[in-house]
């Protein structure tokens, strides 16, 4: 499987490209993730271009950023409302929008992709960007389940390609996983580390392996909770209470699955299962599959393991 292939080629980069501090970030994909990253980058002194396929999506994304900034400001500038208004204006002034990614990256230091989780679509995008972006531009993907090396293989800048994995909601969650493939140069890796630190995040480094750190541990844990319940060994409610009060987790596994989205969990699990069919941690769950087939994706559809009104 391609997954193992990219570990075999050793880094060949001799870094002819001097890395510069990342100032201009182009974020491709104005969904939940992209908008969150744009907000944080613009609030921390970066120039941001948010790219998506239509102006309507982008207008909605910017409205979402504005609403989210207002919530941040309410807490951060509770007793200084004018300073809060100025903070929002300054951050929004640093966000521009575009529908042509290839043109947008012409002045980018970093092109960060947060589009649909599909290898071919991501490869096609980066292959186009590779032709118009300057030599120094670093490419990064926020994929949560695809090997970074497989996406990078569509470009001629394997040494300037890495992963930046954020967590939803981006403005609240403190962690970024920074991923270097076997071909990512040290300079590129350091730039990505410096960038996530400049966003005010705590960074951890991780190899290009399925799920990186957080999802690799969290997804099998959530699925094991579903299997425990499927075996009739405990109710959803009891398992959730047990993990909250006994392990100190803020949400139980079923609450967390409903929050993440059952469709997303199934998608990740199916991908890993295809890569490692004999790994019991990745084996499919009939109950999860049934709920997804019935359109019960969790909070976002009003019903998953629990009902939401």
Ligand X SMILES: *[C@@H]1O[C@H](CO)[C@@H](O)[C@H](O)[C@H]1NC(C)=O
Q: Which stretch binds ligand X (CB under 6 A): 77-85, 102-110, 190-198, 281-289?
A: 190-198
**Residue tagged active-site, from 6, 24, 113, 177:** 177
- Please pick, from the candidates 143, 155, 184, 188, the single residue that binds ligand NAD as defined by CB under 6 A: 143
Task: Find the shortest distance in angstroms from Cβ 305 to ligand NAD.
Answer: 17
Distance of alpha carbon 33 from alpha carbon 217, whole angstroms: 21
For residue 246, the tally of other CB atoms under 10 A from its CB is: 8
* 191 scored as a contact of ligand X (CB under 6 A): yes
Q: Is residue 300 marked as binding?
A: yes
**Under DSSP, is residue 214 helix (H, G, I), strand (E, B) or coil?**
helix
Task: Find the shortest distance in angstroms from Cβ 29 to ligand NAD.
Answer: 3
Q: Which stretch binds ligand NAD (CB under 6 A): 141-149, 185-193, 238-246, 269-277?
A: 141-149
Q: Is residue 75 marked as binding?
A: yes
Task: Find the shortest distance in angstroms from Cβ 216 to ligand X.
Answer: 12
Site for ligand X in 67-106 (CB under 6 A): 90-91, 94
**Ramachandran bin of 231, using left for φ above 0, alpha for ψ from -120 to 50, beta for the remaining angles:** alpha
Q: Residues 150-164, buried b or exposed e (16+ Cβ, 10 A)?
A: bbbbbbebbbbbbbb
> Sheet of 110-113: strands edge to edge?
95-98, 47-51, 24-28, 110-113, 138-141, 161-165, 175-180, 202-207
* 33 scored as a contact of ligand X (CB under 6 A): yes
Residues annotated as part of the active site: 144, 165, 177, 215
């Amino acid at each position: 499987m391609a997954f193992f292939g990219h570990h075999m080629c050793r880094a060949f980069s001799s870094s002819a490209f001097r890395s510069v501090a990342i100032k201009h970030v182009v974020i491709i994909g104005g969904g939940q993730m992209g908008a969150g990253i744009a907000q944080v980058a613009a609030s921390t002194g970066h120039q941001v271009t948010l790219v998506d396929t239509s102006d309507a999506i982008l207008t909605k994304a910017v409205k979402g950023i504005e609403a989210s900034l207002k919530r941040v400001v309410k807490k951060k500038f509770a007793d200084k409302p004018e300073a809060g208004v100025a903070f929002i204006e300054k951050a929004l002034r640093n966000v521009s929008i575009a529908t042509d990614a290839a043109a947008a990256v012409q002045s980018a230091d970093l092109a960060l992709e947060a589009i649909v989780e599909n290898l071919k679509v991501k490869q096609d995008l980066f292959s186009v960007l590779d032709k118009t972006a300057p030599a120094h531009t670093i490419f990064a993907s926020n994929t949560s389940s695809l090997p970074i090396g497989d996406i990078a293989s569509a470009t001629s800048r394997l040494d300037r390609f890495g992963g930046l994995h954020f967590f939803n909601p981006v403005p609240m969650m403190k962690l970024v996983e920074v991923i270097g493939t076997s071909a990512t140069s040290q300079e590129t890796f350091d730039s990505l580390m410096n960038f996530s630190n400049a966003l005010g995040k705590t960074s951890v480094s991780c190899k290009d392996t399925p799920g990186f750190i957080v999802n690799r541990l969290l997804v099998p844990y959530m699925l094991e909770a579903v299997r425990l319940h499927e075996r009739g060994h405990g109710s959803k409610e009891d398992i959730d209470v047990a993990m909250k009060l006994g392990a100190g987790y803020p949400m139980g596994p079923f609450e967390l699955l409903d929050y993440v989205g059952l469709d997303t969990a199934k998608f990740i699990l199916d991908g890993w299962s295809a890569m490692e069919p004999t790994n019991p941690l990745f084996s499919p769950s009939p109950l999860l599959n049934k709920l997804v087939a019935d359109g019960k994706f969790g909070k976002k559809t009003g019903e998953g393991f629990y009902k939401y009104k």
